[in-house]
């Protein structure tokens, strides 16, 4: 149903730490693996061994350079999947009701058997979080691993999205962003988590933790005071110091 | 945005078709019998041809009926209803004209209104998209509507209306381009808001995959500036200037047909540009503008 | 309005069965859960792969390659049956033959060699994880010509670590992720410990600890580093020695630690011109002596109660003996190492060097802490706590793949030791079987007896010139010239020299080149074009200069085309493997651990696990150890070997569940149920190091005893860290003319310079590089493993081609923009490739991803695959020899101490080029022995 629910009971989503993401693509491929075998049609690949290999992915890792006025440029790895927006334009544009936002947790999903593959929802999403599968002709998007997070055939600790479970750097966090006391909400407060494209009015649930300030060492580190300039001075210092150590002569 | 042939054809042809239906619904020209049949055939071919063309664009056309369910929120769904109702009402109205030589004026007005509505809903599908600032403005439905009315008038042989409408459409088109050119900048979305990164000048370094992908194919189409300017001039000339000149010349069927052809080609070109020049904000993520 | 939404099955069954084994998309060896589902044909198929949470290496996480394993196992490039060459070498034309025929052919070539001249077989393996087995096979065959890929990989790292502190970075140690507060990373893009490093960085960042990245390129780990030192390639040694200079001048060194655990107090003879000069003072039993601070007497270093004096000197027989620390102060206090002196050469402002030194000292000393753990050292002294110095370092090929890499890696170890941060809480920690003093490693063995095994293991650690692998006439005993005066400490052999030496017949000709899992005709060679020529070159009579080439690969790689006989291997999910303590195990700093692989699926092709094939060959050749007295096979296959082989009584490939009942760890008789126990346990075994033994391992009596019990040592082996490496001095001494083993004249000067027993920095050989001012590097992409990733339908979408990344300054200077092409020239060759701007890059350096470029026709890819049309190899620009110097000799592009291939010494110049049709050079397409992959992929096992 493409009307958005007035409110959702929870706001499940991801918090992605741009200070820690090393750009390894582990989340990209574990997502591909899980979602190829699970929810809906497999994520297909075209020309997989040919000139223009191109497939459906629900999560992709970009990278950006920041050049400050002074000092060295910085590189930021930037994973991006569906942000499960509260005001999800992808949902309201859908003519068939295939796209919907779940009342119980706010997850935005596509019901593939209702999808006519018109592509409009992908146009409506400002973030590029939806991809039409070329083989199945239906719209694919991050499911927040809805078939994992409540899956009682999985051990409790595994009921997290595939990308979160696999991220080696621990740069992806999953939880209820609607609950101010949840670990993710606290992390967002503590690290100044932000929304992407706030001006688009989508109210994304997923949050990004900005990189910490970099290249401050010449401002913050102490400079050492010499105790010796040459070997003679050093040996003098050595003798004086050794005497003060346990077992020293004095 | 990717200028998909099916969508360009759909919007252009159905715009013309519903435009013609508007005029027919208003009783201009006041045709009946065989000539009504001819006019209605043209209108229906254009309108439904466009709809069929749009189905090529779907991954699952066989589920098309589902698209009627979400009229409360979805402009695409509304468009489906509007088109269906317009075509239904106009069919009844047309049947009266063709077979009974009767003009049910009220029905005609209703059909014209629904046809107009169809054009508006089509335009709203694009207009509603905040993610494509070039489309996200009131000028978009105005332009679509005006083009539809102008093209319809042209087909309906309503030269009196066609000339000013073509001129107005040309003006709206120019306005749409001019406002459109600044729309992305005005939208406030930038690579910085897209990534939240601060602290210096920002540059997209590497795309996530070296291979192509759906988003790039569909949403990140870059037209060369020089190329675009040339096409704009051509589109405007063919769409408005040439037909107006031809219509102002002493009437001949050949010239009228040429005017229609020119207009159609012009609108197709403009529509190509409408898509090709439209910057989706997702392009920021890929370093495109 | 009521909201309607579909009812979802939120608990779909994930799989029918989970089989736990070990990943092999790289050498990190993470534990994986392979989810199996019944496929359309009714068989159990691999449906999904995830990390194993219980596994000591990855604790559940998995990298991109690991998750993409499913596409590796299904890759259309998999070889299907043994192949016999039918076209000319290098064409890729083969016919499929039976295993019997293949093994008969191999036996037919090898048997006569073994009987008459075993050295005519050169057996070299790539990055496999069965070197203790393949080496044993080669030993039983009797050839001295065996090594794996370590020589071109990171032997500088391994040897510098082992000679200095009895263990190295690589995957043999790790920062103390739990306690470290400052982590400094030199020259690492990915490493073998890939997931653990990522987990570690994530862990310390979550704690607010800081990371400094020293690397010309700021990507990956360096991108998340809090501070970036954009060093000029090849100058790390100078930078590190400058840090040492600043720290020593400020007295910021850990004197307690130096006195107790290192040879800083050991005494060096000062007698220039005599054979004694520079040797350590030793007692009659050979133990190094120190001066006891309490008594002032000369005392063996390990005497209970001794307090080694860092300052006092000693005179004997007219020779002055000075402690190592004096020599160090003398050298490193010199203004040659002052930040202001080195700043320009290193490309790092002097103030930044001082800031880094200041930060290191602050964290090491001001943030020192104590763990409430009592421990007893090897001298019998009990310490109530463990003192932590929370600064840790890690480094890899960025410092080691230079011709000054050994000394640079040494410098880094000396820096950590001066700070007292090795094997202490918060510092760098060894993983079993390390620590292990250099002396207890084997020495190289090379004595050949036709028809009989070699006299011992091939590779080892020389302690002086007498241990070199030289024949009586002084010529190299090994085809790769390992352990010669040219590269005395080449502990891993020199795989990168095998083909060129065999081709040149220098030092002698060989008959059969047998290679396993190394793409030597492409990305693992320098000078790729010439290597292809050497492999196909014929003599006057038209026979190949290298007469026979046997190769085992699992996939249709470039190298396959250059062999005469292909022994197709299984994929990693289809075979038994063992990741053994005898080899490169999966231990953690807190635990001993090893692992297996087992066939979680059966091969659907006529392929066999290579190790089982070697066993079969061993039997056919009648090699001792492989057959008993009656000539019957000792091991049925590799699985049988893994369980039943004993290297020493009670010690075999696997440490877990030994002994009849499976209740012994490390030592114990073979247990027939061992493999089943491993499988049941998820494919691995872990035994935790007792808490009191967890730090100070080289000196900690509890650790030493535990290591003996666990079979790591035969007896406790406490030792001192070697700030001063005496074996190096012994080579210098020989070069000075002392001793019976004398180097050739042309090497004397070089040996005198580079074999310095204290770390030095020297400029790598720049002869012939005039005008080539740009450093050119490669990095490993985290989502690709060398050449294998390109056959993987998912991974190749991430890295289907590789631009040359060019710093902003050079882009501007050469009028380049993204998407332009540039001609890149080195003194040796030329390539034309696409470029992309990168600002976060040292401005005299360009780089690209390693091994993305592919030869057309390989890997079952279509001929127009981007890997072949836009991708490229930097290797075409790198030569295994330096440009001629005009002295009539060709010098190797290698570290003069270890022979480590100096991949990263490459200097180039670039200029804008007219875009060619495809990247240059382009080579003729290979015929694919496996055809090409399909045009569509929709992989789903379940319905
Ligand atoms: N320019 C440049 N060149 C470099 C380097 C660099 O940094 N820069 N690095 C160097 C280093 S350190 C290394 S280690 C080398 C690596 O170079 P290689 O060891 O040659 O690299 P791979 O591409 O991994 O090739 C190994 C071969 O093993 C095969 N293989 C994969 N799995 C199996 C299996 O299960 N069984 C068998 N039998 N074969 C298998 C693959 O198909 C492939 O042909 O490259 C070196 N080359
Ligand atoms: N994903 C993946 N993992 C792998 C491999 C793989 O192919 N893919 N290969 C495995 C193998 S065989 C190996 S040997 C390891 C190697 O692992 P790494 O040691 O991480 O090897 P490289 O990727 O060659 O990275 C070398 C780094 O050193 C930097 N560098 C180059 N020159 C200098 C210098 O002079 N100073 C400093 N400070 N830095 C410098 C380069 O910019 C680069 O970041 O990785 C292993 N792990
Ligand atoms: S990120 Fe895009 S697809 Fe996801 S909810 Fe928001 S608008 Fe919809
Ligand atoms: S593609 Fe499918 S989900 Fe998206 S708007 Fe169209 S019908 Fe809805
Ligand atoms: S939550 Fe699941 S579907 Fe979404 S990006 Fe992560 S793995 Fe993919
Ligand atoms: S797995 Fe984690 S570290 Fe790797 S790219 Fe994804 S978010 Fe970044
Ligand atoms: S690091 Fe990745 S490829 Fe390597 S063993 Fe671990 S999961 Fe496999
Ligand atoms: Mo390597």
Q: What is the pLDDT of residue B156?
A: 95
Please state the rounded mean pLDDT for residues A212-232.
Answer: 95
Tokens encoding C397: 């090929």
Distance in angstroms (rounded) separating the CA atoms of residues C197 and C171: 10
Helix (H) / strand (E) containing A89: helix A89-92
Tokens 């690949």: give the residue. A45
HEC readout, C657-669: CECCCCCECCCCC
Chain C environment of B211 (Cβ under 8 Å): 796-797, 800, 866
* CATH number given to C774-913: 2.40.40.20
**CA C348 remoteness from chain centre:** 28
Q: Token match 């795989």: residue?
A: C495
Q: Write down the residue that tokens 């402690």 correspond to.
A: C323
Judge whether B65 is closer than 8 Å to chain A, CB to CB: no
Check: CB of residue C658 under 8 Å from CB of residue C561. no
Q: What are the tens digits of pLDDT across the range C167-180?
A: 999 878 999 999 99
Q: Which pLDDT tens digit goes with each residue over A171-204?
A: 999 999 999 999 999 999 999 999 999 999 999 9
Rounded Cα gap, residues B144 and C457, in angstroms: 83
Query: CB count, 10 Å around CB of A135?
Result: 17
Structural contact between residues B219 and B283, judged by C-beta atoms closer than 8 angstroms: yes
CATH code 3.40.50.740 region(s) in chain C:
83-150+451-571
CB contact set of C40 (below 8 Å; sequence gap of 6+): none
Closest CA to A111 of A40, A43, A58: A40
Query: What average pLDDT does the segment C764-783 reach?
Result: 94
Residue C374 φ then ψ, to 5°: -80, 140
B225 inside 8 A of chain A by CB: no
Q: Which is higher by pLDDT, C585 or C264?
A: C264
Encoding tokens for residue A68?
């400050």
Answer yes or no: is pLDDT of C767 > 90.
Answer: no
Cβ-Cβ contacts under 8 Å for C942 (sequence gap 6 or more): A37, C37, C38, C47
What are the tens digits of pLDDT across the range C347-398?
A: 999 999 999 999 999 999 999 999 999 999 999 999 999 999 999 999 999 9
Which residues fall within 8 angstroms of residue C853, CB to CB, at 6 or more apart? C523, C801, C802, C867, C868, C871, C872, C873, C919
Helices assigned H by DSSP within C814-877:
866-869
Backbone phi, psi, residue C34, to 5°? -95, 110
Cβ atoms within 10 A of the Cβ of C591, count?
16
Average pLDDT, chain C: 96
Separation CA C425–CA C364 (nearest Å):
11
Angle at C60 between CA C58 and CA C64, to 5 degrees: 75
- B197 to chain A: closest CA residue: A210
The stretch C733-761 carries a mean pLDDT of 97
A250 band by pLDDT with thresholds 50, 70 and 90 = very low
Task: Compute, in angstroms, the gap from residue C940 CA to the centroid of ligand 2.
Answer: 35
SS3 assignment, position C264: coil
Beta-carbon contacts of residue C19 (< 8 Å; ≥ 6 apart): C33, C34, C36, C600
Q: Burial letters for C183-203: b for 16+ Cβ neighbours within 10 Å, e otherwise? A: bbbbbbbbbbbbbbbbbbbbb
CB B104, CB B133: distance < 8 Å: no
> What average pLDDT does the segment C775-782 reach?
98
Q: Phi and psi dihedrals of B132, rounded to 5?
A: -125, 85
Both structure tokens of C108: 């037919």
By percentage, how much of chain C surpasses pLDDT 90? 95
Residue nearest atom 7 of ligand 3, based on CA coordinates: A125
pLDDT at C29: 94
Could you tell me which residues come within 8 angstroms of residue A125 by beta carbon, excluding any fewer than 6 positions away?
A82, A88, A89, A90, B131, B282
Residue count (chain B): 289
- Best CA proximity match to A175, nearest among A127, A110, A79, A105: A105
**What letter would DSSP give residue C363?**
I
Do the beta carbons of residue B197 and residue A37 sit within 8 Å?
no
C468 SS3 class: coil
**Total residues belonging to chain A:** 250
**Subunits that touch chain B (at least 3 Cβ pairs < 8 angstroms)?**
A, C
Share of residues in chain A with pLDDT > 70 (%):
97
Report which of residues A245 and B113 the model is more confident about. Answer: B113
At CB < 8 A and 24+ separation, what contacts does A243-246 make? Answer: A245/C255, A245/C256, A246/C256
CA–CA distance, C342 with C234 (Å, rounded to integer):
13
Q: What is the pLDDT of residue C170?
A: 85
- CATH code, residues C83-150+451-571: 3.40.50.740
Model confidence pLDDT, tens digit, residues B33-81: 999 999 999 999 999 988 887 887 899 999 999 999 999 999 999 999 9
| Cα three-residue angle C446-C448-C451, rounded to 5 degrees | 145
| pLDDT band for position C1 (cuts 50, 70, 90) | very low
CB-based burial label for C4 (10 Å; 0-12, 13-18, 19+): exposed
Q: What is the distance between the alpha carbons of residues C725 and C411, in angstroms, rounded to a whole number?
A: 12
Return the number of other C-beta atoms located less than 10 Å from residue C634's C-beta: 17
**CATH tag for C173-430 (out of 1.20.1630.10, 3.40.228.10, 3.40.50.620, 1.10.3720.10):** 3.40.228.10
pLDDT, mean over chain B? 95
Contacts of A97 in chain B (CB under 8 A): 66, 69-70
Q: Which of residues 208-247 of B touch C (CB under 8 A)?
A: 208-211
Residue written as tokens 């490739």? C833
Whether ligand 6 lies within 6 angstroms of the CB of A165 is answered as no
CA of C396 from ligand 8 middle (Å) equals 10
Q: Do C799 and B210 touch (CB under 8 A)?
A: yes
pTM: 0.97
Kindly identify which residue of chain B lies nearest to residue A28, measuring between CA atoms.
B208
Residue with tokens 């990164």: B197
Contact C442, C648 (CB under 8 A): no
Residue pLDDT, tens place only, B134-144: 999 999 999 99
**Is the CATH number 3.30.70.20 carried by domain A12-216?**
yes
What confidence tier does A248 reach under pLDDT thresholds 50, 70, 90? low
CA A250/CA A244 separation, integer angstroms: 7
- Helices B139-155, B5-25: axis angle to 10 degrees equals 60
The predicted-structure confidence for B138-192, as pLDDT tens digits, reads as follows 999 999 999 999 999 999 999 999 999 999 999 999 999 999 999 999 999 999 9
Phi, psi of C128 (to 5 degrees): -75, 175
Q: What pLDDT is attached to residue A1? A: 56
Check CB contact under 8 Å for B211 and C800: yes
Atom of ligand 4 lying closest to residue A116 CA = 7
Residue C896 has pLDDT above 50, yes or no: yes
In the reported structure, the alpha carbon of residue C22 is separated from the centroid of ligand 7 by a whole-number distance in angstroms of 9
For residue range A124-141, what is the model confidence (pLDDT) as tens digits? Answer: 999 999 999 999 999 999
Residue C14 to residue C715: CA distance in whole angstroms: 49
Residue C98 pLDDT grade (very low, low, confident, very high; cuts 50, 70, 90)? very high
- C307 is written with which tokens? 């307090």
> Minimal CA–CA distance to C334: which of C434, C217, C238?
C238
What does the pLDDT look like over C296-323, one tens digit per residue?
999 999 999 999 999 999 999 999 999 9
- What is the rounded average pLDDT of the residues C585-608? 96
Residue C540 has phi, psi (to 5 degrees) of -55, -40
Instruction: Collect all residues with Cβ–Cβ distance below 8 Å to A4 and sequence separation of at least 6.
Output: A86, A87, A88, A91, A92, A101
* Share of residues in chain C with pLDDT > 70 (%): 100
The C512-516 sheet, strands edge to edge: C94-96, C83-85, C565-566, C548-552, C512-516, C121-125, C146-147
Q: Could you write out the DSSP letters of every residue in C91-135?
A: S--EEE--HHHHHHHHHHHHHHHHHH-GGGEEEEE-S-S-HHHHH
Q: Residue holding tokens 């006299």?
A: C455
pLDDT in tens, C179-201: 999 999 999 999 999 999 999 99
pLDDT tens digits, one per residue of B83-109: 999 999 999 999 999 999 999 999 999
Nearby residues of B45 by Cβ (< 8 Å), 6 or more positions away: B17
- Range list for CATH 2.40.40.20 in chain C: 774-913
**C427, pLDDT greater than 90:** yes
Stronger pLDDT, C104 or B222, i.e. the higher one: C104
- In this complex, the residue of C1, C801, C838 whose CB is nearest that of residue B210 is C801
Dihedral of CA atoms C544, C548, C550, C551 in degrees, nearest 10, equals -20
From the CA of A156, how many Å to the nearest CA of chain C?
A: 12
Distance between CA C42 and CA C59 in Å, rounded?
Answer: 32
Give the 3-state secondary structure of residue A22.
coil
Q: Residue C853 and residue C227: Cα distance in Å, rounded? A: 32
Asked if C796 and B211 come within 8 Å (Cβ–Cβ), the reply is yes
Q: Which two tokens stand for residue C144?
A: 């001295």
C413 touches C161 (CB < 8 A)? yes
- Strand stretches in chain B, DSSP E: 201-206
Q: Are C477 and C118 in contact (CB under 8 A)?
A: no
Residue given tokens 């466009």 in the structure block: B50
Q: Sheet holding A207-209: strands in order across?
A: A172-176, A12-17, A207-209
- Segment holding B122, helix H or strand E: helix B105-127
pLDDT at res. B289: 58
Each domain of chain A, given as residue ranges in start order, spans 12-216
Q: Is residue C896 reached through a cis peptide bond, with omega within 30 degrees of 0 on the bond before it?
A: no
Which residue spans of chain C are classified as CATH 3.40.228.10?
173-430
Residue C914: Cβ within 10 Å count: 8
């Amino acid at each position: 149903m493409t009307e958005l629910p007035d409110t959702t009971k929870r706001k499940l989503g991801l918090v992605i730490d741009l200070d820690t993401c090393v750009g390894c693509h582990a989340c990209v491929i574990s997502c591909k693996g899980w979602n190829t075998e699970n929810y809906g049609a497999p994520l297909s690949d075209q020309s997989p061994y040919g000139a223009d290999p191109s497939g459906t992915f629900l999560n992709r890792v970009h990278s950006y350079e920041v050049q400050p006025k002074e000092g060295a440029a910085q590189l930021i790895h930037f994973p991006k999947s569906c942000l499960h927006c509260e005001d999800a334009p992808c949902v309201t544009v859908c003519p068939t009701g295939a796209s919907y936002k779940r009342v119980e947790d706010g997850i935005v999903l596509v019901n593939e058997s209702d999808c006519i593959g018109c592509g409009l929802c992908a146009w409506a999403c400002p973030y590029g979080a939806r991809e039409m599968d070329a083989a199945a002709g239906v719209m694919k998007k991050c499911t927040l691993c809805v078939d994992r997070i409540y899956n009682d055939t999985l051990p409790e600790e595994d009921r997290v999205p595939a990308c979160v479970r696999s991220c080696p750097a621990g740069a992806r966090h999953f939880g209820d962003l609607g609950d101010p006391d949840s670990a993710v909400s606290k992390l967002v407060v503590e690290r100044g988590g932000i929304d992407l494209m706030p001006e688009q009015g989508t109210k994304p649930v997923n949050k990004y933790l900005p990189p910490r300030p970099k290249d401050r060492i010449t401002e913050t580190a102490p400079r050492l005071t010499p105790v010796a300039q040459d070997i003679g001075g050093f040996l003098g210092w050595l003798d004086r110091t050794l005497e003060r150590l346990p077992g020293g002569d004095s | 945005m990717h200028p998909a042939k099916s969508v360009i054809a759909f919007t252009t042809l159905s715009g013309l078709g519903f435009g013609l239906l508007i005029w027919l619904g208003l009783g201009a020209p006041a045709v009946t019998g065989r000539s009504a049949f001819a006019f209605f055939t043209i209108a229906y071919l254009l309108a439904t041809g466009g709809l069929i063309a749009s189905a090529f664009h779907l991954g699952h056309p066989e589920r098309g009926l589902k698209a009627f369910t979400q009229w409360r929120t979805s402009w695409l769904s509304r468009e489906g209803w509007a088109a269906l109702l317009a075509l239904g009402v106009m069919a009844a109205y047309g049947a009266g004209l063709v077979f009974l030589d009767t003009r049910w004026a009220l029905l005609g007005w209703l059909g014209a209104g629904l046809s107009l509505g169809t054009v508006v809903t089509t335009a709203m599908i694009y207009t509603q998209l905040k993610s494509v600032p070039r489309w996200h403005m009131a000028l978009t439905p105005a332009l679509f509507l005006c083009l539809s009315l102008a093209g319809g008038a042209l087909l309906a042989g309503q030269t009196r209306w066609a000339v000013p409408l073509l001129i107005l459409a040309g003006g709206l088109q120019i306005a749409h381009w001019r406002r459109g050119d600044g729309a992305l900048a005005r939208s406030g979305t930038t690579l910085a808001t897209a990534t939240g990164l601060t602290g210096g000048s920002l540059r997209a370094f590497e795309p996530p995959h070296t291979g192509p992908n759906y988003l790039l194919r569909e949403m990140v189409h870059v037209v060369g500036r020089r190329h675009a300017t040339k096409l704009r001039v051509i589109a405007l000339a063919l769409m408005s200037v040439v037909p107006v000149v031809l219509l102002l010349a002493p009437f001949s069927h050949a010239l009228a047909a040429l005017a229609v052809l020119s207009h159609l080609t012009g609108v197709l070109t403009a529509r190509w540009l409408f898509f090709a020049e439209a910057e989706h904000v997702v392009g920021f993520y890929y370093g495109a503008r | 309005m009521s909201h309607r939404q579909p009812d979802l099955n939120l608990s779909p069954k994930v799989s029918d069965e989970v089989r736990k084994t070990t990943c092999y998309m790289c050498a990190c060896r993470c534990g994986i859960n392979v989810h199996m589902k019944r496929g359309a044909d009714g068989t159990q198929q691999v449906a999904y792969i995830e990390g194993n949470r219980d596994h000591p290496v990855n604790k559940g996480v998995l990298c991109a390659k690991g998750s993409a394993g499913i596409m590796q196992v299904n890759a259309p490039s998999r070889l299907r049956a043994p192949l016999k060459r039918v076209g000319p070498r290098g064409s890729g034309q083969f016919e499929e033959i039976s295993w019997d025929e293949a093994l008969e052919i191999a036996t037919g070539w090898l048997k006569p060699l073994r009987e008459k001249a075993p050295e005519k077989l050169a057996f070299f393996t790539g990055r496999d994880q069965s070197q203790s087995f393949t080496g044993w096979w080669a030993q039983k065959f009797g050839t001295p010509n065996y090594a794996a890929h370590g020589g071109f990989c990171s032997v500088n790292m391994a040897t510098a670590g082992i000679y200095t502190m009895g263990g190295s970075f690589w995957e043999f140690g790790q920062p103390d992720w739990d306690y470290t507060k400052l982590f400094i990373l030199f020259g690492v893009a990915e490493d073998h410990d890939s997931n653990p490093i990522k987990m570690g960085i994530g862990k310390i960042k979550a704690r607010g600890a800081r990371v400094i990245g020293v690397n010309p390129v700021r990507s990956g780990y360096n991108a998340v580093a809090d501070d970036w030192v954009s060093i000029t390639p090849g100058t790390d040694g100078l930078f590190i020695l400058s840090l040492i200079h600043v720290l020593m001048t400020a007295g910021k060194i850990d004197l307690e630690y130096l006195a107790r655990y290192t040879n800083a107090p050991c005494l060096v003879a000062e007698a220039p011109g005599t054979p004694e000069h520079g040797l350590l003072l030793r007692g009659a039993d050979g133990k190094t002596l120190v001066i006891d601070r309490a008594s002032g007497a000369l005392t063996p270093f390990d005497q209970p109660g001794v307090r080694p004096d860092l300052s006092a000197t000693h005179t004997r027989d007219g020779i002055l003996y000075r402690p190592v620390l004096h020599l160090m102060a003398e050298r490193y206090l010199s203004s040659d190492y002052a930040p202001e002196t080195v700043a320009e050469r290193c490309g790092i402002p002097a103030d930044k060097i001082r800031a880094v030194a200041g930060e290191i000292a602050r964290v090491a000393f001001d943030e020192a802490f104590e763990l409430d753990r009592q421990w007893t050292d090897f001298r019998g002294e009990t310490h109530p706590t463990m003192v932590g110095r929370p600064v840790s370092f890690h480094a890899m090929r960025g410092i080691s793949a230079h011709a000054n890499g050994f000394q640079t890696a040494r410098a880094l170890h000396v820096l950590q030791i001066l700070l007292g941060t090795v094997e202490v809480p918060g510092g760098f920690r060894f993983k079993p079987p390390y620590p292990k003093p250099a002396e207890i490693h084997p020495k190289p063995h090379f004595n050949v007896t036709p028809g009989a095994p070699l006299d011992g293991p091939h590779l080892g650690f020389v302690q002086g010139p007498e241990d070199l692998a030289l024949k009586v006439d002084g010529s190299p005993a090994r085809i790769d010239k390992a352990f010669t005066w040219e590269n005395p400490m080449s502990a891993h052999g020199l795989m990168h020299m095998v083909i060129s030496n065999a081709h040149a017949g220098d030092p002698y000709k060989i008959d059969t080149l047998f290679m396993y899992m190394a793409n030597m005709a492409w990305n693992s060679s320098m000078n790729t074009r010439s290597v292809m020529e050497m492999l196909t070159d014929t003599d006057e009579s038209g026979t190949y200069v290298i007469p026979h080439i046997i190769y085992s690969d699992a996939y249709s790689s470039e190298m396959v085309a250059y062999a005469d006989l292909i022994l197709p291997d299984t994929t990693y999910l289809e075979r038994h493997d063992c990741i053994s303590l005898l080899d490169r195990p999966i231990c953690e700093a807190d635990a001993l651990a090893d692992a297996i692989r087992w066939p979680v699926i059966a091969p659907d092709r006529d392929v066999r696990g290579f190790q089982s094939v070697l066993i079969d060959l061993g039997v056919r050749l009648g090699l001792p150890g492989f057959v008993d007295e009656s000539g019957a096979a000792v091991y049925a296959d590799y699985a049988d070997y893994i369980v039943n082989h004993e290297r020493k009584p009670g010690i075999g490939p696997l440490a877990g569940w030994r002994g009849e009942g499976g209740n012994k760890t490390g030592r114990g008789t073979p247990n027939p149920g061992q493999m089943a126990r491993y499988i049941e346990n998820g494919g691995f075994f872990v035994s935790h190091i007792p808490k009191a033994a967890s730090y100070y391992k080289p000196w900690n009596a509890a650790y030493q005893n535990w290591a003996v019990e666990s079979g790591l040592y035969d007896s406790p082996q406490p030792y001192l860290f070697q700030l001063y490496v005496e074996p190096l001095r012994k080579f210098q001494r020989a070069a000075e003319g002392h001793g019976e083993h004398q180097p050739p004249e042309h090497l004397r000067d070089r040996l005198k310079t580079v074999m310095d027993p204290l770390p030095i920095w020297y400029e790598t050989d720049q002869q012939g590089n005039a005008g080539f001012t740009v450093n050119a590097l490669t990095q490993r992409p985290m989502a690709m493993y060398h050449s294998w990733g390109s056959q993987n339908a998912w991974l190749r979408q991430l890295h289907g081609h590789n631009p040359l990344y060019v710093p902003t300054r050079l882009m501007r200077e050469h009028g380049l923009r993204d998407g332009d092409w540039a001609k890149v020239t080195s003194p040796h060759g030329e390539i034309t490739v696409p470029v992309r701007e990168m600002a976060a890059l040292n401005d005299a350096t360009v780089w690209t991803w390693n091994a993305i470029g592919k030869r057309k026709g390989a890997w079952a890819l279509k001929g127009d695959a981007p890997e072949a049309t836009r991708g490229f190899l930097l290797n075409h620009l790198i030569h295994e020899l330096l440009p001629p110097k005009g002295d009539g000799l060709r010098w190797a592009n290698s570290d003069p101490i270890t022979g480590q291939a100096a991949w990263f010494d490459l200097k180039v110049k670039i200029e804008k080029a007219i875009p060619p049709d495809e990247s240059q050079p382009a080579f003729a397409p290979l015929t694919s022995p496996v055809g090409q992959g399909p045009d569509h992929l929709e992989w789903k096992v379940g319905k």
